[in-house]
Amino acid sequence: MTEPIVVAGAPLRDAVAAIERTRRLIAVVVDDRNRLLGVISDGDVRRALLAGKGLDSPAAEAMTREPIVAPASTRPDEVFDLMQARGVAAVPVVEADGRFVRVVQIHDFAESGPPGGAEGFAAAVVMAGGEGRRLRPLTVDRPKPMIDIGGVPLIERQVRTMIRGGLRRIYISTNYLAHVIEEHFGDGSSFGAEIRYLREHKKLGTAGALSLLPERPAGPLLVINGDVLTTSDFGKLLAFHIETGAFVTVGAVIYRVEIPFGVLRVSGVRAVGLEEKPSQSFLCNAGMYVLAPGALDLVPPDSAINMTDVIEAAIAAGRHISVFPIHEYWSDIGNPSDLQRAMAEFEAVER
């Protein structure tokens, strides 16, 4: 198996690519003699982005130095015991002189192979009740989530990504032209999942349909807006939620604003600096969330409420809200120009 090696001085995006290419849980950073310098997990990447780093920043700035390692002479059962004892899912194996050998992860010891990552969700809810008025005439005969992207309905792409990750119980909230969605998915058996419907009889906002769940989930709940197109890994979102001990985790995209003028810095009436055409970055709500079961207590029964209201209520109550920065492809399909751009971009991403 190819190992997830990143050379010292490489950009952070190389670590991301190494993890995705090898399907390992960590990338290893080595020097020019292949000696281990540190490791980078997906969580390390997200934390670096939150700290203002970019994917072109040096990978070494995000790595964990002096990670837990297993000597090359360690028996497999001892490596397994080490990971369980230290609560880690992956360790680098090294020679006595520090040279990297390979990455071993806990799933290597499972006969069934590594899980998809999203099987730890109790369920998922896709919010698909909106009308999509700005996309008419495309939404005259179908809800917005049923618009085709590359020949596949947007919501089907979401559902198939969930199923590939190991998620098997999926709820879809419906309202406008609900029958189109229900006839497409049925009970979900043809997709390899159990799909049930939360039927809104009035507009309930972006979170109100959660009050229609037939039972309280036993574990974390994935919630995603039905008009979001992304290649982000739901399993990594869940892992980040658990790792950070969050009550609610909010997926976020980095939105950059280019200011087309020179910006003056002033003190009183005096100019003290001038920056030509600067850019600013903001973390924006991406319409993807993980909720602890208790977060549903913030959703009133059969009432219109938006997810932003739920998040603000949780913050006011002093609960831990984590932010999961998305560096993968993401687009919100809100209007015809968004749709055209997403179709072109996603076609390139899938090649």
Percentage of residues of the chain with pLDDT beyond 90:
66
Is residue 111 over pLDDT 80? no
Closest CA to 49 of 314, 338, 283, 342: 283
- In this structure, the strands spanning 100-105 and 90-94 are antiparallel
Query: Which secondary-structure segment (H or E) carries 51?
Result: none
Interior/surface letters 246-261, b for 16+ CB within 10 angstroms, e for the rest: bbbbbbbbbeeeeeee
Percentage of residues of the chain with pLDDT beyond 70:
97
Tell me the pLDDT tens digit for each residue of 311-351.
999 999 999 999 999 999 998 888 888 888 888 887 766 65
Tell me the pLDDT tens digit for each residue of 9-36.
899 999 999 998 998 899 999 999 999 9
Our CA angle for 235, 240, 246, nearest 5°, is: 120
Q: Are 176 and 143 in contact (CB under 8 A)?
A: yes
Q: Which two tokens stand for residue 244?
A: 């950070």
- DSSP, residue by residue, 121-155: -SEEEEE-----GGGTTTTSSS-GGGSEETTEEHH
Measured CA to CA, the distance from residue 199 to residue 186 in angstroms comes to 14
Domains of the chain and CATH, by start: 5-109 (3.10.580.10), 123-350 (3.90.550.10)
Closest CA to 307 of 323, 291, 293: 291
The pLDDT score that the predictor gives to residue 349 is: 64
Q: Which two tokens stand for residue 56?
A: 């072109």
Task: Give pTM, 2 decimals.
Answer: 0.86
